[in-house]
Every structure is written in structure tokens, then in C-alpha cells.
Chain A
């Protein structure tokens, strides 16, 4: 019984019950708007081959902000959520990297 009790104390009853403050919601919103402005401005500057890289980097920073703060991943105690996200990104990376490795190295064509 005492074992059971200590186990239930560790069972998180209030998982992802984190309530975001109004300030942090608005701060992330402003950061996302700033990122949008930045990415449009950067598209009109000639950075050579780095234009695409800059656009994708800003998009990834924006996506990370949304996942961490708006999707409450930063506040969750559930480790499986992190595992699902990391494996989704990992398999997406395999899909894109191996396909592009194939298409960019077909030098005989």
C-alpha cells in the first residue's frame, strides 16, 4: 500500500496543466511576426546560395518557437512526446537527405 501510494504521488496528475502567461503568449507572437518580416526582407537581399539557407533557418527557428511554447512541449513532463517529435524529424531527415544524396550524385546523367 505504501508502495502504491508513493507510486501514485509520482503519477503526474496535472501533466501539461501549465498555464502560459499572457506576456509569454504575446512575446512569442511578436517574435513570429518579427521572423516573418526578417525572412521577407532577407529574400530581397542577394546572398548568393545562402538565400535559401537563411529562409529555411528562419522558418526552422519560427517552427521551433511554435513547438516549444505554443504546443507546450517546453512544459511537458512526458518524455514520450519528445521521443515522437525527435523520431518524426529524424525520419523526415532520412527521407530528404537520402533522396537528395541520390538525385544530386547522379553525375552520369
Chain B
């Protein structure tokens, strides 16, 4: 009885993609997926700390944060949001391609994802450069002389200006949060480059594509972080 069981299991164990300490491919995939989700839960807490710091200071310095937020380029921010959403679509299409066993389509969609990721980083670098030119980078050369939101309608003598120290706090949080996000993007682009090379070599098949799926989860998570960053950093008090 046991022998026949062992024989029945044998083809499964001969699969080079199945590590010896897992009974089935399903079990192996579940373990890898659960590990990835636990990593993402840890990432939620990591970014959560930054979001919490942001909330505390936005609550304390609401008007100044509105003023500083309007120094960001909402056009570039929106374009970057669209770029990231498109990159999430290409990730999903890459997973679809590998599930259907289309190797070249997989490589194409992975490269498309890298391209969108680099486009995002390029636009972000452009925004950062503008911040350096305007002396809006926190530090000794920081200078800020802008009105509070909605003050343009008052006569010049009565207009109130934002507290530059509070605006500096906004930009500190802006650089910390978007910088951490950009670092995740850089890691993601590297990861997808590695996967694209492996995929081109034919490593991934409909039988084994866990790395593609888990890298996809990572990429979607980074996309979700940006969805919140965009809403919180770029869209404060725009109506005034």
C-alpha cells in the first residue's frame, strides 16, 4: 500500500520546480504566497508609521500643509498616478501571459512594467529637481514665502503667509514618504529586470511562476501606497 503511494507520488517529486520539503506544488505555492503576504503586512506597518507622522502634523499645521501642498505639481502627480496604474495592468497581463504559457508575451509585459516604472522615477526626479531649484528641500538652504490657501482674495496688506517651519515639515514628510516609495520602485524595477531575464531564458512555465506572481504582489502594493500618497500629498486644499 505504501509502495503504491510512493510510486504515485514519484512524478510529483521528480518535478525540479518542487522543493523536497513540500508535498505538492499547491502546498509550495501557498507557502510562498503566504510569506509574501506577511512581508506586505510588515510593509503596511512600515509605511503606516510614515502615514501616522503625516496625519499628526497635518492635523497640527493644516493651513501650512495646504499651502506647501500647492507647491507640488498636480499635473505631474496625476500623470505619475496614471503611469503606475498602467504598470499594474502590465503586471497583471504578464501573469496572464505566463499562465497561458506565452514566453515572449511574458517578457514583453515585464519589460513594459520596467518601462512604466522608469517613467515614474524619471518624472519623480524631475519633480525633485524643481524642489531643489525652489529651495523647498528641508535643510539649511530651505526658504519659503508663500500665502496660506485662499488668501489671494484679500488686499495685499491683510494676506496671511504660511509658517515656513511648518511648510518645511510638510516637505520633510513629502521627501521621506515619496523617497521611501521611490526606493521601493527602484527595487521593483531591479526585480522585474531579473525576472525578465529569467523569463527570457524560459525559467517560468504555467507550472511554475511563483516569483512572477509574488513580484506582482509587491508591485501592486507599491501602487496602492502611491494611490494614498497622491491623495494625501498633492490634493490638499486645491479648491481654494
Contact = CB atoms under 8 A, between A and B. Distances in A.
A11 B33 contact: no
A92 B44 contact: yes
A15 B213 CA distance: 12
Given A25-B92, A56-B231, A36 B82 contact: yes
A29 B16 CA distance: 36
A59 B231 contact: yes
B227 interface: yes
Contacts of A89: 44
Given A22-B96, A71-B217, A14 B81 contact: no
Interface of B: 1, 5, 23-27, 29-30, 33-34, 37-38, 40-41, 44-45, 48-49, 51-52, 55-56, 59-60, 74, 78, 81-82, 85-86, 88-89, 91-93, 95-96, 99-100, 213, 216-217, 220-221, 223-224, 227-228, 230-232, 235-240
Interface of A: 1, 4, 8, 11-17, 19-20, 22, 25-26, 28-29, 32-33, 36, 39-40, 43-47, 51-52, 55-56, 58-59, 62-63, 66-67, 70-72, 76, 78, 80-81, 84-85, 87-89, 91-92, 95-96, 99-100, 103-104
